[in-house]
Amino acid sequence: MNVVITGGAGFIGRRLARALLERGTLTGLAGPGQKIDQLTLVDVTPAPALRDPRVREVTGDIADSAFLNGVIDGETTSVFHLAAIVSGMAEADFALGMRVNLDATRALLEICRTRRHVPRVVFSSSVAVFGGALPEVVPEGTAVNPQSSYGTQKAIGELLVNDYSRRGFIDGRSLRLPTISVRPGRPNAALSSFASGIIREPLNGEPAICPVDADARMWLLSPARVIDCLIHAHELDAAALGTDRTVALPGLSVSVGEMVASLERVAGPDVAERIRWARDERVARMVATWPGAIETTHAQSLGFRADDTFESVIRQYMDDELSSRRG
């Protein structure tokens, strides 16, 4: 199998690459358990090399279709399309968001179509496709109504994946990812960045600012679970998905106040006190348009799973990130 990950230097792309290398196989045309011979990681930002003979790292802009044409060839059996301009940046730079999140997604699908090799394509969408006046729990089948350019670009991507699949050009699957927390490293330009920052920074002994009110409700998934879900999506039989290839992933519905209370229970009051509450209207207004909980019976029946509790997510971050730094 020749597998391509766009956004292969990013937070999720890097973890997915490691998980695929460790797993060693995916489902291909000849069935499950096909050996991954080559893993191509594509990103505009170079990253420290993953030392594995199966890895090919390619640096370039996926919005440049000549470049993308050289990355996806007739031997490509699977594409995990993760490269994106995240929400805050796509809102700040409309043209850039359109170019990467929409134009490059269409170009990628077009390359697959003209190559006629029908790869499996897993597209990372987002809960930002929902918006407007939403009920406490968003029912399945709710129409998309994005309130950001990023959400709009993701919603269009989902429809394209559906149509290219219906026409038999690709075998696609789109996952609506919840906000992923706890993301290690530094804050990024996503409007949801605080959902990791208010846990990560205090645990690192640093102050954090919470830009939304304590009752703001988030739909969350851990880094480990999102990787499981991306691989699971690839492995699913297309027949199980039906005519709509989009799956809203299960998550944990947690208010920001509950997130901070969980941090206090796991790490103690001194750590939780490092958070300062300072409402940022721009962030708070956008976060309020996202769903705080989604009905995911369909996703669960397909075998997708969320985390058990937010406390377990914090412990996972401490085990993975803090202990590896100490050791």
Ligand X SMILES: NC(=O)c1ccc[n+]([C@@H]2O[C@H](COP(=O)([O-])OP(=O)(O)OC[C@H]3O[C@@H](n4cnc5c(N)ncnc54)[C@H](O)[C@@H]3O)[C@@H](O)[C@H]2O)c1
Binding of ligand X by 10 (CB under 6 A): yes
CA distances (Å), origin 64, targets 60, 67, 301: 8, 5, 39
Question: Nearest-CB residue to ligand X?
Answer: 10
Query: Binding residue for ligand X (CB under 6 A) from 82, 155, 216, 287?
Result: 82
Q: Which of the stretches 37-45, 107-115, 275-283, 303-311 binds ligand X when contact is defined by CB under 6 A?
A: 37-45
Binding of ligand X by 131 (CB under 6 A): no
Closest separation in Å from C-beta 32 to ligand X: 25
Catalytic residue among 123, 150, 164, 290: 150
Closest separation in Å from C-beta 251 to ligand X: 10
How many Å apart are CA 249 and CA 176, to the nearest integer? 6
Are the C-beta atoms of 150 and 86 separated by less than 8 Å? Answer: yes
How many Å apart are CA 109 and CA 160, to the nearest integer? 8
Binding of ligand X by 256 (CB under 6 A): no
Tokens, residue 53 = 């003979």
Query: Binding residue for ligand X (CB under 6 A) from 4, 5, 43, 254?
Result: 43
Contacts of 8 (CB under 8 A, 6+ apart): 14, 17, 40, 41, 42, 43, 47, 57, 82
Instruction: Spell out where 233-277 has E strands.
Output: 246-248, 252-255, 275-277
Query: Binding residue for ligand X (CB under 6 A) from 39, 79, 86, 102?
Result: 86
Q: Which is nearer to ligand X, 83 or 233 (CB)?
A: 83
Q: What residues between 182 and 201 interact with ligand X by CB under 6 A?
A: 188, 192
Binding of ligand X by 260 (CB under 6 A): no
Contacts of 157 (CB under 8 A, 6+ apart): 101, 102, 105, 123, 125, 174
Query: Binding residue for ligand X (CB under 6 A) from 61, 110, 235, 264?
Result: 61
Q: Which helix (H) or strand (E) covers residue 105, if one does?
A: helix 104-115
Binding of ligand X by 97 (CB under 6 A): no
The values of phi and psi at residue 174, to 5°, are: -115, 130
How many Å apart are CA 231 and CA 223, to the nearest integer? 13
When computed from its CA atoms, the radius of gyration of the chain, rounded to whole angstroms, is: 19
Binding of ligand X by 12 (CB under 6 A): yes
Query: Binding residue for ligand X (CB under 6 A) from 1, 11, 148, 310?
Result: 11
Q: What residues between 132 and 191 interact with ligand X by CB under 6 A?
A: 177, 179-180, 188
Q: Which is nearer to ligand X, 42 or 260 (CB)?
A: 42
Binding of ligand X by 84 (CB under 6 A): yes
- Strand, helix or coil for residue 102: helix
Q: Which of the stretches 60-68, 106-114, 248-256, 306-314 binds ligand X when contact is defined by CB under 6 A?
A: 60-68
150 is a catalytic site residue: yes
Q: Which of the stretches 6-14, 19-27, 165-173, 278-286 binds ligand X when contact is defined by CB under 6 A?
A: 6-14
The values of phi and psi at residue 166, to 5°, are: -60, -35
Longest Cα separation, the chain: 58
Catalytically active residues are: 150
Q: Which residues bind ligand X (CB under 6 A)?
A: 7, 9-13, 43-45, 61-63, 82-86, 100, 124, 126, 177, 179-180, 188, 192
